[in-house]
Structure 1
Amino acid sequence: MKKILIVLTNTNQYGNYKEKTGLWLGEATEFINFLKNTDIKFEFTFISPKGGKVPVDPRSLKFASEEDIKLYKDKWFVDKALTNSLKPSDIKDEEYDCIYFTGGHGVMWDFTNNKEIHDIALKIYEKNKIVSSVCHGIAGLLYLKDKNNKFIIESRNITGFTTTEEILSGKYRKVPFLNKKIAIKNNANFKSKRFYKPYALKDGNLITGQNPFSVIKVAKLVYENI
């Protein structure tokens, strides 16, 4: 049995803008559905910065597959992920083989400086277990520092939602920062492919994916390295 800790957002709008955001549904459901269909038995635990309710970005439902919607309506997922996600204080980091930061624009407000979640991720990282993200989920790694006060992304190859993709999404002026800009500022080697194309990469025990179309590639890398 391999245990994965999936991190979700509690943020439901773009800062002071009233436009709704939240979890990009497929970044949780595609990841789970892929791993559930492998030869490894996985157990998934869901946390969010505040615990409790996790909003779903309404736009993500338009891109959801039949399988995504089936899981979205599943009682287990509704209860454990969307309604009663755990708080970081509920978690024992030593139980987990991987932490996975999902995206959706909401994470840019509540993943970046959450000390409790950073502490959990760092302990998993220091045990050489997998720390992973997709799309805006990279926000959970951008400011994560080790015990020597060094960014764990420094000199590492990582990816996340790009500036070009932010412009194309129409959210460029609504987000609090740009992933690529912060990654470079914190001395990461930020890599990317063509906008909205699947792309993921592994550097040591860090696994990152560029955009919502990269979930399966991230899941495959997790499966191959867990």
Structure 2
Amino acid sequence: MKKILIIETNIPKYGKDNRATGLWLGETTHFYDEVISAGYEVDFASPSGGYVPIDPESFKYANEIDWKWYADKNFREFALANTKKIGDLNPLDYVAIYYTGGHGVLWDYPKNAELKNIGEEIYNSGGFITSVCHGAAALLNLMNEEGEYLIKDKLITGFTNEEEELNKTTDKVPFLTETELTRYGGKYVKEAPFKEFVIQDGRIITGQNPQSPKKVGTMLVQELNKLNK
């Protein structure tokens, strides 16, 4: 059985602003818990490989699933301390790629050539593209086999401009996720701020915010199980 590839950020702060960010922990743990509970194997990777910083704010919202995995030494080792480098991976090993969020991804996802290449190869080989929250930034530069942006005319979601404003980070980010997803041709949809919302369009599944990773995982598992029947 092919594996699922989880991508995380290596960026610890908001650009030149010395405010900590990184991975929003629950966007890994809740998705991970769903897919491994369904029997799927997972690899963790990041643009630079190795250490993944965690946004300290995410601990304020941690629940039993987050603490279960964060307390697991093996999980911390392969999911947070020693992630694989994307360039060392074979895209044919994976049936899906999942881009986690946290504000750090806005700096290291969009222009990373290796991340772009592996996403395109997984999708063009029949795999699924999935993301949550700011992780949708990785979708911006993906191209389909016809040379068009992959998200063009696709139903898509990600962190909203309103959520960014409520988070008081509008002036700290290099771009607004909702604005860019729309600018690249996506049919952007959203629900109320900080409420679970996930949308699927073919082999693309995206979640709006930190409340949505579990459902992204559930929907991906449902689709993969159909293929394995």
For normalisation by structure 1, the TM-score amounts to: 0.96
User: Residue 3 in 1 paired to residue 7 in 2?
Assistant: no
Which residue number corresponds to residue 28 of structure 1? 28
Unaligned runs of 5+ in 2: 225-229
User: Residue 134 in 1 paired to residue 132 in 2?
Assistant: yes
Provide the C-alpha distance between the structure 2 equivalents of 1:62 and 1:2, rounded to a whole number of angstroms: 35
User: Any residues of structure 2 matched to 1:2-151 within 5 Å, and which?
Assistant: 2-38=2-38, 41-151=39-149
Provide the C-alpha distance between the structure 1 equivalents of 2:36 and 2:92, rounded to a whole number of angstroms: 22
For normalisation by structure 2, the TM-score amounts to: 0.95
Which amino acid in structure 2 is aligned with residue 71 of structure 1? W
After superposition, what is the alpha-carbon deviation per residue over 1:105-138, rounded to whole angstroms, capped at 9, x for unaligned? 0000000111101100000111221110000000
After superposition, what is the alpha-carbon deviation per residue over 1:153-194, rounded to whole angstroms, capped at 9, x for unaligned? 000000000000000011110000011111111111000001
Answer yes or no: is the 8 Å Cα contact 2:2–2:93 preserved in 1. no
Provide the C-alpha distance between the structure 2 equivalents of 1:200 and 1:179, rounded to a whole number of angstroms: 15
Which amino acid in structure 2 is aligned with residue 28 of structure 1? T
Partner SS for 1:54: coil
Provide the C-alpha distance between the structure 2 equivalents of 1:87 and 1:37, rounded to a whole number of angstroms: 25
Task: Report the aligned-residue RMSD.
Answer: 1.0
Which amino acid in structure 1 is aligned with residue 35 of structure 2? L
Which residue number corresponds to residue 163 of structure 1? 161
Report deviation, 1:147: 4.2
User: Aligned pair count?
Assistant: 224
Provide the C-alpha distance between the structure 2 equivalents of 1:132 and 1:43, rounded to a whole number of angstroms: 16
Answer yes or no: is the 8 Å Cα contact 2:95–2:126 preserved in 1. no
Provide the C-alpha distance between the structure 2 equivalents of 1:87 and 1:211, rounded to a whole number of angstroms: 26
Report deviation, 1:2: 4.4
Provide the C-alpha distance between the structure 1 equivalents of 2:191 and 2:54, rounded to a whole number of angstroms: 27
Which residue number corresponds to residue 227 of structure 2? none
Report deviation, 1:146: 2.8
Provide the C-alpha distance between the structure 2 equivalents of 1:216 and 1:84, rounded to a whole number of angstroms: 24
Provide the C-alpha distance between the structure 1 equivalents of 2:80 and 2:212, rounded to a whole number of angstroms: 22
Q: Percent identity?
A: 42
Partner SS for 1:213: coil
